[in-house]
Structure 1
Amino acid sequence: MGGVHYRLWLLPLGVLLLAGCIPATTAPGRPSAPPSETDAPIRQDVMGGDAQPTWALKPVTANARWVGGSLYAIRRGDTLRAIGAMTGVGSEALAMENDLAPPYLLFPGQQLRVPAGLYHRVGTGETGIGIATAYGVDWGEVITINALAEPYILRIGQRLRLPSHARALPPKEIDVAARAAAFRLDIDDIATGSQPALAERSQPTIATAAPTKPVTTAIAAPASFAGHFQWPLTGKILAKFGPLAPGKVSDGINIAAATGTPIHAAASGVVAYAGDQIGVYGGLILINHGDGWVSAYGHAGQIDVQRGQSVKAGDVIGRAGASGQVQTPQLHFQLRKNRIPIDPLKQLPPR
């Protein structure tokens, strides 16, 4: 997980959460006048704090149990889902272990390998970040073990395989871990682990231009990416993408900005996170653009959007500031494709 503009592992304890930073001025061709009330229906003073983030809304019931490896002989009428529930590993783990693909046809007498491991049954509203915190593990490792993919929305009743060193933490330890995580969160954690679990046949919430109340359910990702990015603001580049010093790596760029400079959405998409709960970044906004693309805007002094809000390229989403662990006003800007940090300067138009 990242810290400030670097990939800093500030505290030892694997769980998940996020990162970011950039400079301020208006994007080319954008007016610098403040947005109207209709442009910014939701305005959050990030210095004053916000409501609980989605990953903290629902306490996780630590129900993980160990399942020993075995072989299961298919009987007439068996389904992969039923076998997954009976064995305790879930249909996803069975499919992955046995190289099965949809429509998951099974035949009497066929033998399935049941993979040994520690499995957690996902409950209503639980998030990946919350589950990882409850067991003191890293969410990114859970993603890898379970081969999870976009849109990273968990389903109620789904079994997640946990790392072998996972252990259910007592409530007091979970509280401490959650506070510590705020310093270790990475943008990837929020983008992939903050969606509340859905019931099997329910659908995620469709983003709207002006939500009337906080969106605390899973949000549908955009159908596709528009194809290009624009500058969120202009200014002197303070830090480029890549290695900065021994042990320090920037996952984005930092752009100098005057306090209050409008920050513009680099492309159309859906706001996946907007708040100041991640101390390293202060005011942080994440936008899901679809097709695996996510942009991040950190150190904002003001946030003018909320989770679950749809935005268009160039919309004002906040104002530059010096929130988080920086001394001067600036914007930390990141682009990620399929969880991998991408150099923004290679995606933004030349200037």
Structure 2
Amino acid sequence: MRKIFVGILLCSLSACIPPGRDYSWPQNDAANAPVPTLETDASVFGQSPSQAPPPVWTAQPVTPNAVTIDSGTYIVKAGDTLGGIANITGASAQVIAANNDLIAPYVIQPGQQLNITGGRYHRVNGGETGIAIARAYGVPWRDVVALNDLEEPFILRVGQNLMLPAAAPVDPQAMTIEERAAAFDLDIDDIVTGSQPAMAAAGDQPEPSAWRKAIAEKKTPKAIATPAAFTGRFNWPLEGKLLSSFGSKGGGKVNDGLNIGVVKGTPIKAAADGVVAYSGDEIGVFGGLILINHGDGWVTAYGHADKLHVTRGQKIAAGDIIGLAGDSGYVQEPQLHFEIRKNRKPVNPVSHLPKRT
């Protein structure tokens, strides 16, 4: 299947239809289509259901300045910690732990010999996200997650060393921003796992000037608060004609959700209580996209919005209007792409929604 690449500014998100995915409704010719933009009306932004709070963090640009280290061994000294050894060697603490069969709380003893895995490592700065880091190097975020044995909630720490794939197709420092964007693709799962900003570790004193400025402006990064539990049920986000159902479409093509045809401007309602994990228009194929975290591993996605009424970190109640449906992204008619995911895996929304009459 043809992949769709969208070039955008650094520290934004870009996306493509995941391999093997097809939504089986008329689409624009991606090769000739312009980069989609979303109309965001400042006069209504955040006023439905309530005035949206300002963003809880300010994205910081990522400079691809990874350091390459050689493989070797390290002899533990008195007072050493795993994090301290990572700082000394330039390697990832998670990679050191995994490759030496260390188990939390990672107790190490003086004289112990640790294998240090060589490779390229990026040191995380304040305000950086996993997606932005991966995009800066033109590598898949999912590969960074696997290499570093990252687990939920996928929150990076300032000063953390992230191991990168062995080599990029082209030296990222020799690439333009547009070239790095064109070489990078994401799917919704990447957004779920890589959109949290790096947090300061306990006792850390952030040093980058941009980080200090963000603190002064009270825009320090905060992790999105995950609801404790999901005890309710999902409701239909809007009413309309079903254009494409969930599941296999033949030929190895799959739709991860439902596509519902509606009149442009139809209000999109939150399917359940939750917290907005993402709200933006940077993802080419989906156009205006909102992700809501409902707790217990449940996430809903709402794509092709014409206008967004919510912002990242905002608490949402079931039935709240979160945006207006449209034809943003690579579609030819107004519609909503709606997904329900459990533990990051798409499930059939129809199985979790009231029966339509």
Scaled by the length of structure 2, the TM-score of the pair is 0.77
* Residue 102 of structure 2 is aligned to residue 97 of structure 1: no
Deviations 1:132-164 (A, max 9, x none): 122111111111111212222211111111111
- Structure 1 runs (4+) deviating above 3 angstroms are 15-21, 34-38, 213-216
Q: Tell me by how many angstroms 1:12 deviates.
A: 11
1:170 — aligned with what? 173
1:186 — aligned with what? 187
Q: Is the 8 A contact 1:214 1:307 kept in 2?
A: no
Identity rate, percent: 49
Q: Is the 8 A contact 2:224 2:277 kept in 1?
A: no
Tell me, in whole angstroms, the C-alpha distance in 2 between the residues paired with 1:12 and 1:283: 14
Moved more, 163-172 or 255-264: 163-172
Q: 1:303 to 1:289 in 2, by over 3 A?
A: same
Tell me, in whole angstroms, the C-alpha distance in 1 between the residues paired with 2:72 and 2:173: 31
Q: Is the 8 A contact 2:92 2:163 kept in 1?
A: no
SS in 2 for 1:156: coil
Match for residue 160 of structure 2 among 132, 137, 158: 158
2:4 — aligned with what? 10
Deviations 1:304-348 (A, max 9, x none): 111121101221111212222111221101122232222222222
* Residue 309 of structure 2 is aligned to residue 304 of structure 1: yes
Q: Which amino acid aligns with 1:164?
A: A
1:26 — aligned with what? none
SS in 1 for 2:172: coil
Q: 1:36 to 1:63 in 2, by over 3 A?
A: closer
1:206 — aligned with what? none
Q: Which amino acid aligns with 1:283?
A: G
**Which protein, 1 or 2, shows the higher relative CO under an 8 Å CA cutoff with sep ≥ 6?**
1
Q: Which amino acid aligns with 1:169?
A: P
Deviations 1:36-58 (A, max 9, x none): 94624359xxxxxxx99x89x42
* Residue 286 of structure 2 is aligned to residue 284 of structure 1: no
Deviations 1:159-204 (A, max 9, x none): 11111123641375233323665xx43212222222221211389x
1:317 — aligned with what? 322
What CA RMSD, in Å, does the superposition of the two structures yield over aligned residues?
3.5
* Residue 342 of structure 2 is aligned to residue 332 of structure 1: no
Q: 1:318 to 1:244 in 2, by over 3 A?
A: same
Tell me, in whole angstroms, the C-alpha distance in 2 between the residues paired with 1:96 and 1:16: 30
SS in 2 for 1:318: strand
Tell me, in whole angstroms, the C-alpha distance in 1 between the residues paired with 2:349 and 2:99: 37
2:133 — aligned with what? 131
SS in 2 for 1:300: strand
SS in 2 for 1:266: coil
Alignment of 1:100-111 (within 5 A): 100-111=102-113
Q: Tell me by how many angstroms 1:70 deviates.
A: 2.1
Q: Is the 8 A contact 1:260 1:320 kept in 2?
A: yes
Tell me, in whole angstroms, the C-alpha distance in 2 between the residues paired with 1:270 and 1:109: 47
SS in 2 for 1:170: helix
Deviations 1:18-76 (A, max 9, x none): 4798x9xxxxxxxxxx9994624359xxxxxxx99x89x42212221222222222222
Q: 1:260 to 1:202 in 2, by over 3 A?
A: farther
Size of the alignment, in residue pairs?
A: 314
Q: Is the 8 A contact 1:62 1:168 kept in 2?
A: no
Q: Is the 8 A contact 2:304 2:325 kept in 1?
A: yes
SS in 1 for 2:167: coil
Alignment of 1:1-351 (within 5 A): 9-11=3-5, 17-18=14-15, 37=47, 39-42=49-52, 57-166=59-168, 168-170=171-173, 172-178=175-181, 181=184, 184-201=185-202, 217-227=221-231, 228-246=233-251, 248-351=253-356
SS in 2 for 1:131: helix
Unaligned runs of 5+ in 1: 1-6, 24-33, 44-50, 204-212
Tell me, in whole angstroms, the C-alpha distance in 1 between the residues paired with 2:13 and 2:100: 29
Q: Which amino acid aligns with 1:218?
A: K
Q: 1:215 to 1:321 in 2, by over 3 A?
A: farther
Q: Which amino acid aligns with 1:99?
A: D
SS in 2 for 1:276: strand
Tell me, in whole angstroms, the C-alpha distance in 2 between the residues paired with 1:223 and 1:321: 29
Q: Is the 8 A contact 1:84 1:91 kept in 2?
A: yes
